[in-house]
Amino acid sequence: MRGGDVMEPTARVIHSGSSYQGRQGIPYIAGLTAASAGATEICMTVATIPPGARTKAHLHENIETAVYVIEGEAEMFWGRNLEHHEVGRSGDYMFVGADTPHVVINRSSVRCVAVVAHSAGDDQEGIVLLPELDARV
C-alpha cells in the first residue's frame, strides 16, 4: 500500500528499446522507465561510453544513481568541484548520491557498457547540467 491506497499488483517484461542520446552527452538504450513500465521510483537503462567520450558535468536533483559496469572501465570525477576521482571497471558497482555533481570519462581504447539505475521513473528526470564545471576535467 502507498498513501493508504491499495495498489493493483503489477509486473511486466520490458524488451530492450532503441538508443537515444542522453542530455548528459552519452548514448543509452531505452529500458525500464515510467514510459515503458509505469515505474515511478526506479528506472534502469544501459549506457555505452565510446573510447574517448565523456559526459557533461551534471547532477541528478533529488535522485540517486547506481551503476554496474558490464565491460570496460570509466573514470568518475565527483564532488562540488569534481575534486574526487574513482575508476569503475568491469564487475564494479558505482554509486552517485542525489545532488552530487559528477562527470564520467572513458579514456581507454575500448567501450564501456554499464547498467544504470536511478531512483526516479525516467533516467533523464532531474538532470541539471553544470557547464561551469566542464573544464575542470
Q: What is the pLDDT of residue 1?
A: 45
Answer yes or no: is 89 within a domain: yes
Answer yes or no: is 35 within a domain: no
Answer yes or no: is 73 within a domain: yes
Q: What is the pLDDT of residue 127?
A: 96
Q: What is the pLDDT of residue 17?
A: 81
Q: What is the pLDDT of residue 3?
A: 58
- Beta 58-60 vs 112-118: how paired, if at all? unpaired
CATH number at residue 92: 2.60.120.10
pTM, 2 dp:
0.88
Answer yes or no: is 50 within a domain: no
Answer yes or no: is 51 within a domain: no
Q: What is the pLDDT along the chain (137 residues), one digit of tens a residue?
A: 455 677 788 898 999 888 989 999 898 998 999 999 999 999 999 999 999 999 999 999 999 999 999 999 999 999 999 999 999 999 999 999 999 999 999 999 999 999 999 999 998 999 999 999 999 99
Answer yes or no: is 15 within a domain: no
Domain count, the chain: 1
Answer yes or no: is 31 within a domain: no
Is residue 69 within 8 Å of 92, Cβ to Cβ? yes
Answer yes or no: is 116 within a domain: yes
Q: Which domain holds residue 83?
A: 59-131
